[in-house]
Structure 1
């Protein structure tokens, strides 16, 4: 997962709200999670009622990481990370098989977060997180990816789901339209997103469409085109009822509030969205004026420290990063439904091995942590760094 530079100038930085309490949940059968079918009201913030579920796959990774720690105090702190709610990435057709095991211990008080992320020609402006489906394989995306996910969610009507739809896709069409790879992917992205939100429009689902971050679509020249691109996708999908709004800072580093990391840069005059709060408050009205629901979720999983990047567009394994605010609906902003953990902290953004097929030069920059393995692969040293630099601390 990566963030592209804007075609205009491009490119944000730490949340400071208090974390909500997190408790260990006892395993339960998903079908018995609620006594009856769940119906989510799209006019209400779902995170006011439901806690983001600490999915078993991230818990397993963290628990395995704890076993590698010899420092007892660090191990105790690390064990607490396993109890933090986080989104589960369904980034391949094979990983659809993770959904049912992840449902097995979701109580009625929790909502399972899933990242829907497998468009044909995925991540058209980077190499580290390219997907399995080639440009043009939209029928496979529909029949082998989206349709099985729809079927599974229908089979578990007593569980609540929060879905983040296709990180990076539409923002890339706004700012990287000059790249041939993005030109080739454009129609598939638009068709795929429309199909996804139309068919995932189920009573126990709430959906958010990815909108990059303030250092991407927050530039003056990108705000209106970005809002139109997202709103058009919403309308192409039939303006689905269970659609709540947009997601920002997914797998990102930008601060929610305070002083923006690049607010003192010479080109800051072209981007007033120096924090994610300003971005949400600026972008949301544009979405509304284009006819799209406009409430946001914001990834605070790795933005506990700021001032680390050389450039706003540096997106890969930022060195010195720390875990940020834990998931909570207490954002202090009516337009922001929740701070959530979207990117699983400890999983790599991309490899620093320049000889690798999927090597992206951003992962070899001086502000990127090295060595780092392939995207999605666990990096123990990076996890320990995030833990030591966590703000607030564990």
Structure 2
């Protein structure tokens, strides 16, 4: 029932729920937008221009699937980029997934450190993004790790309060546009218990968002996320959730390693048809093949294309 409601709110054609998920190499996207300018797509085009068609076919298992488009800085033109992406997607009758990742003090663990310099700069940035989405349809993943990092993490009490207030501001600013579905990130089942993170999520506006997101850039199994999501939903007024399945096809790595761990595989294909009452979608939020950070031999900095790792995720 919920996928039909979500489709109606976002102006999409309704689709029936499926009991089973499509295989990862089955291009079934439920109207989700495939970014033609993503690093995977550009890499495939370069391979094809070089006559490396066999390699291109392997990489198309990533490039042909819809994945989130990330907004991580305030470089000139960021709002225009958001406006262009969403307009392009909607014109094609597709729903884009945007990941916003610019909270002050972002990733205090260091691999993706950065974010807005001040709370005021962040509010202005969010307002600009929201303005770019006005009158359009989009699914927004709001600030991966931000709420989870505020729970027993590297923020003091004052910074924690500021962060949760900024997340609440972002939820309210984005949700003011009827076509925008906001999912506040809630970490993953291998991090905090549902009972521990729920109070922070409530302070951050989760009960006013469309729902919450799980497993972004992580490797926890879909089943583990479904159990965790249902438990967390009970503590958040029955909110629905989406799960990042981009790299969870082989579950978490030994020791819960999260930075380009070997032996991981692509997960379930992106879809809004989950067959689960509380689960609005399985999405590729982390873009497979883009590095988690310069944490191993040959690994580039976070967000850069990592061809060897991309290939390994396909199981080839």
Whether TM-score is above 0.5 comes out as yes
Find the partner of 2:220 among 251, 254, 267. Answer: 254
The structure richer in helix per residue is 2
Tell me the TM-score normalised to structure 1 length: 0.68
Residue 224 of structure 1, CA deviation = 1.5
Cα distance in 2 for partners of 1:386, 1:334 equals: 29
CA RMSD in angstroms comes to 2.4
| Cα displacement (A) at 1:17 | 2.9
The answer on whether the counterparts of 1:295 and 1:337 sit within 8 Å (CA) in structure 2 is: yes
Q: Distance in 2 between matches of 1:149 and 1:223?
A: 30
**1:80 deviation in Å?**
4.5
Residue 65 of structure 1 deviates from its aligned partner by: 4.0
Q: 2:194 — aligned with what?
A: 223
**Residues 327 and 339 of structure 1 are in contact (CA less than 8 Å); yes or no, is this contact kept in structure 2?**
yes
CA distance in 2, matches of 1:184, 1:323: 39
CA distance in 2: counterparts of 1:282 and 1:151, whole angstroms = 34
Aligned residues: 290
Residue aligning to 2:159: 185
1:84–1:327 contact (8 Å) kept in structure 2:
yes
- Whether contact under 8 Å (2:164, 2:200) holds in the other structure is no
The residue aligned with 1:315 is: 258
CA offset at residue 203 of structure 1?
A: 1.0
User: Contact 1:120 / 1:185 at 8 angstroms: preserved in 2?
Assistant: no
Deviations 1:341-388 (A, max 9, x none): 001111111112xxxxxxxxxxx5xxxxx3211111111111111123
TM-superposition CA deviations, 1:146-189 (whole Å, max 9, x none): 121122112xx1x311011111111112232xx3x454631331
Gaps of 5+ in 1: 1-15, 24-46, 258-274, 353-363, 365-369, 390-394
Name the residue aligned to 1:356.
none
Pair 1:211-2:186 in alignment: yes
Distance between the aligned counterparts of 1:165 and 1:74, measured in 2? 34
- Aligned runs of 1:241-280 on 2, under 5 Å? 243-257=209-223, 275-280=224-229
Superposed displacement of residue 102, structure 1: 1.9
Alignment of 1:168-179 (within 5 A): 168-176=145-153, 179=154
- Give 1:119's match in structure 2, choosing from 100, 103, 121: 103
**Distance in 1 (alpha carbons) for counterparts of 2:83 and 2:35:** 11
**Given the superposition, is the C-alpha separation of residues 295 and 386 from structure 1 closer, same or farther in structure 2, using an over 3 Å criterion?**
same
Once the two structures are superposed, residues 65-87 of structure 1 have per-residue CA deviations (whole angstroms, 9 ceiling, x without a partner) of 45347653332232353221111
Residue 300 in structure 1 maps to residue 245 in structure 2:
yes
**TM-score for both structures, normalised by structure 2:** 0.83
- Tell me by how many angstroms 1:328 deviates: 1.3
| Distance (Å, rounded) in 2 between the aligned partners of 1:324 and 1:254 | 10
Q: Structure 2 CA distance, aligned partners of 1:121 and 1:184?
A: 13
**Cα distance in 2 between the residues matched to 1:320 and 1:97:** 38
Which of residues 13, 22, 39 is equivalent to 2:27? 22
What's 2:41 paired with? 62
Question: Which sections of structure 2, spanning at least 5 residues, go unmatched?
Answer: 1-19
Q: 2:291, 2:299 within 8 Å by CA — same for their partners in 1?
A: yes
Match of 1:89, SS? Answer: strand
Work out which of the two has the higher radius of gyration on C-alpha atoms and give 1 or 2. Answer: 1
For residues 68 and 53 of structure 1, the distance between their equivalents in structure 2, rounded to whole angstroms, comes to 23
What do the CA deviations read for 1:42-76 (whole angstroms, capped 9, x no partner)? Answer: xxxxx9xx622112332x53332453476533322
Residues 1:342 and 2:285 aligned together: yes
Shift of 1:121: 1.0
CA distance in structure 2 between the partners assigned to 1:164 and 1:250 by the alignment? 9
